[in-house]
Chains A and B, each alone.
Chain A
Amino acid sequence: MIGDWVSIGYLISATLFIFGLKNLGHPKTAPRGNRLGAMGMAVAIFTTILEMNLLDEGIIGWELIISGLVIGSVIGYIMAIRVEMTGMPELVALFNGFGGAASALVALSESWRYMYENDIVPSGLELAVIYVAAGLSALVGWMTLTGSLLAMFKLKGGISIFGKWYRTPTWGPSWLNFVKVSLFLSSLILICMSIKDPTNENVLWAIIIISCVLGILIVLPIGGADMPVVVSLLNSLSGIAAAFTGFIISNSVLIVAGSLVGASGLILTFIMCKAMNRTLPDVLFKSFGGSEKATLTRTKVGSDAEEVVMMIDGAQKVIIVPGYGMAVSQCQHQVKEFADLLKSKFDTEVKYAIHPVAGRMPGHMNVLLAEANVPYEQLIEMEEINQEFSECDMAVIIGANDTCNPAARSGVGPLAGMPIIDADKARSVVIIKRSLSVGYAGVDNDLFYEDKTMMLFGDGKAMMNNLNSALKDL
């Protein structure tokens, strides 16, 4: 009887999750989707507490339960409120690691009970199901934790230990793939061994250690622009870990919510790969760029801000193309000021061209520019804005390279087939960049050397400030 009500509570919760995820995929309904998800979570937690209260012995662990809920909520809330807009991708990676670790800890807690706390060790089919689920939950969960932590430091670019800054390495010779596969297989073998010998502590530790190492080895070879794909994949994995945990305690809402996140996270991973014209196996197993960078043979004379401002005088339409460099130098406020100055001086129409993978995370540019109060209507997605470049007086590219490299149209090389911003079709082009160096894909950019292109060499923020003061002096 009580069990029926609990099942209905979990059913409501699962339904809310389904609608939440569905709504999160559309711009108009996304905020509602997020609220539905949060409601689903609240229903699941209350149902569980209610169920435990109605058990034979009732809730005997109020102290641990309430303090755990409160401490976790407060820490999570403070972290989410205090994070800068630019730090959000890292925070998502960190939260994701915590989620994976939580699933793995539940699995460990259950196994511990069988080993040391005199609970009756299950037998037969029950033993097999619980130990396979606990083993897989540990494997995926610990892997998600270490992988996400490394991903977080990679997104940050490095780690500061006692005031010294260490860059996060990217390293992955091809033989490392064999190590990964053999570690994975050996953990599966260990899981089988754990069923044969359910009270052997060493097997348990071995699974945990192998999973932690595996998580690091999977993320280690993956570089900058592929990080969002990896974080998305880790997100999918943390869902799967929760689903396996559901099998251990035979809990329907864990299984449903976990596998929903696992499956939809995987689809999102594929969508993100497609936007970058990459496949998941390529991201995971092939080191990309980095090693074989094209050597530069051409040179280009840099321009200065005054020169650019002379060209821009009286422009009717300017399209700004922000990229990774804008995020690094944090110059979105200067960019907004630049747009406002153009508008007030020459009544110029200013728009922003948003490439799907510009920056470190999809949507990164939208978030940064929104922080600087750029009106939403001026942020135009790539397919739409590309038709407008032919009637545009000037394209201002701020720290973007591969996303507007015409080499992508040629059909050969690493960029082949990647959709790009047609900045080269504008009447003139200004590129703010530190140097002529190649982008992430390691391909030289013809756009730099065109006659209509002016290069402003330097930090994004410094250059935008120069442009703004030159505009004011005009």
Chain B
Amino acid sequence: MITELEIIGSITLFVLAIFLGFELITKVPSMLHTPLMSGANAISGISVVGALIGANVVFDGGDTQLSGILAFVAIVLAMINVIGGFVVTNRMLVMIAGKKKRED
């Protein structure tokens, strides 16, 4: 049950976070465009949180509730997004920024 107060709170969060997101990124050197995109992309795998809650159903072989199975697939996809995203971003940054540090 979602109360009216919760809904207003959610909308407030949504609007404020959008404004914050606009302000967060200002000038980004072009070589960081791809890593930034990839890192932000990994964060968008946050839907894993919703998937975890949805997958909390009893596992019962083929008779498992379909909503749970769907949420299970969502966990897998979101985790690929999260882990893959952060690891690949790290690899890019080591290539771009890491070399610089070693030379210093």
Chain A nearest CB: distance from B18 CB in Å? 5
A375 touches B43 (CB 8 A): no
User: Which residues of chain A are within 8 angstroms of B4 by Cβ–Cβ distance?
Assistant: 125
User: Contact: B40 with A245, CB < 8 Å?
Assistant: no
- For B29, the chain A residues whose CB sits under 8 A away are 27, 381
A268–B40 touching, CB < 8 Å: yes
Chain B residues 49 to 104 lying within 8 A of chain A, measured CB to CB, are 49-59, 64-100, 103
With A68-B76, A76-B79, A253-B46 as contacts: A267 and B22 at CB distance below 8 Å: yes
Cβ–Cβ contact B82 & A41, under 8 A: yes
Residue total for B at the interface (Cβ-Cβ under 8 A): 89
Chain B residues contacting A79 (CB-CB under 8 Å) are 80, 84
Contact B79 A235 (CB under 8 A): no
Contacts of A242 in B (CB 8 A): 44-47, 50
Which residues of A216-249 have CB atoms within 8 Å of chain B's CB atoms?
228, 231-232, 235, 238-239, 241-243, 245-249
- B78, B87, B97 — most chain A CB neighbours (10 Å): B78
Q: In the complex the two chains form, is B83's CB within 8 Å of A235's CB?
A: no
Residues of A contacting B28 in the complex (Cβ-Cβ under 8 angstroms): 25, 268, 271
Given contacts A24-B35, A363-B30, contact A255 B25 (CB under 8 A): no
Q: Does A366 contact B (CB under 8 A)?
A: yes
Whether A275 sits at the interface, judged by CB under 8 Å, is: yes
Residue from B39, B40, B44, B67 in contact with A112 in the complex, judged by beta carbons closer than 8 Å: B67
Contact B79 A109 (CB under 8 A): no
Name 4 extra pairs, CB < 8 A, besides A72-B82, A108-B70, A367-B92.
A34-B93, A61-B57, A92-B41, A267-B21
Structural contact, A72 and B43, CB atoms closer than 8 A: no
Q: Contact check: which of A26, A102, A228, A251 meets B33 at CB < 8 Å?
A: A228
Q: Is the CB of A376 within 8 A of B99?
A: yes
Per CB-CB distance, the 4 closest pairs between chain A and chain B, nearest first, are A72-B79, A263-B21, A68-B75, A76-B84
In whole angstroms, what is the CA distance A405 to B92 when docked?
29
Q: Digit string of A366-408 for contact with B (CB within 8 Å is 1, else 0)?
A: 1100110001110001000000000000000000000000000
A112→B43 contact, CB < 8 A: no
Chain B residue nearest to A107 in the complex (CB): B50
B59's closest neighbor in chain A, by CB? A63
Select A21's contact among B40, B54, B67, beta carbons within 8 Å.
B40
Complex A-B: 19 CB contacts under 8 Å = A21-B40, A25-B32, A27-B97, A30-B32, A33-B39, A34-B39, A34-B89, A48-B53, A59-B56, A95-B80, A96-B44, A105-B70, A117-B67, A228-B33, A243-B17, A250-B10, A259-B13, A363-B30, A367-B96
Chain A residues whose C-beta falls within 8 Å of the C-beta of B30 in the assembled complex = 275, 354, 356-357, 362-363, 381
CA distance in complex: A68, B45 (Å)? 14
Q: Considering residues A75, A81, A241, A257, which has the most beta carbons from chain B within 10 angstroms of its beta carbon? A: A257
CB-defined contacts of A376 to chain B, threshold 8 Å: 96, 99-100, 103
Asked if A91 CB lies within 8 Å of chain B CBs, one says yes
Give Cα A112 to B87, complex, Å: 33
Instruction: Using CB atoms and an 8 Å cutoff, list the residues of chain A in contact with chain B.
Output: 14, 17-18, 20-22, 24-28, 30-31, 33-35, 37-38, 40-41, 44-45, 48-49, 52, 59-65, 67-69, 71-73, 75-77, 79-81, 83, 85, 88-89, 91-92, 95-96, 98-103, 105-106, 108-110, 112-113, 116-117, 122, 125-126, 129-130, 228, 231-232, 235, 238-239, 241-243, 245-268, 271-272, 275, 354, 356-357, 361-364, 366-367, 370-371, 375-377, 381
Contact B42 A38 (CB under 8 A): yes
How distant is A369 from chain B, measured CB to nearest CB, in Å? 9
Q: Which of B48, B55, B65, B80 lies at the interface centre, i.e. has the most chain A CB atoms within 10 A of its CB? A: B80
The docked-state distance in angstroms from the alpha carbon of A126 to that of B3 is: 7
Query: If the complex has contacts A41-B46, A254-B46, are A31 and B20 also in contact, measured as CB distance less than 8 A?
Result: no
B57 touches A60 (CB 8 A): yes
CB-defined contacts of A370 to chain B, threshold 8 Å: 95-96, 99
Contact B20 A18 (CB under 8 A): yes
| Bound-state Cα–Cα, A81 to B80, Å | 12
Which residues from A are CB-within-8-Å of B54? 106, 109-110, 249
Q: Would you call B59 and A99 a contact (CB within 8 A)?
A: no
Chain A residues within an 8 Å CB radius of B70: 105-106, 108-109, 112
Give every chain B residue within 8 A of A366 (Cβ-Cβ). 31, 95-96
Asked if residues B2 and A255 are in contact (CB atoms below 8 Å), the reply is no
Of B17, B37, B85, B90, which contacts A256 at CB under 8 A?
B17
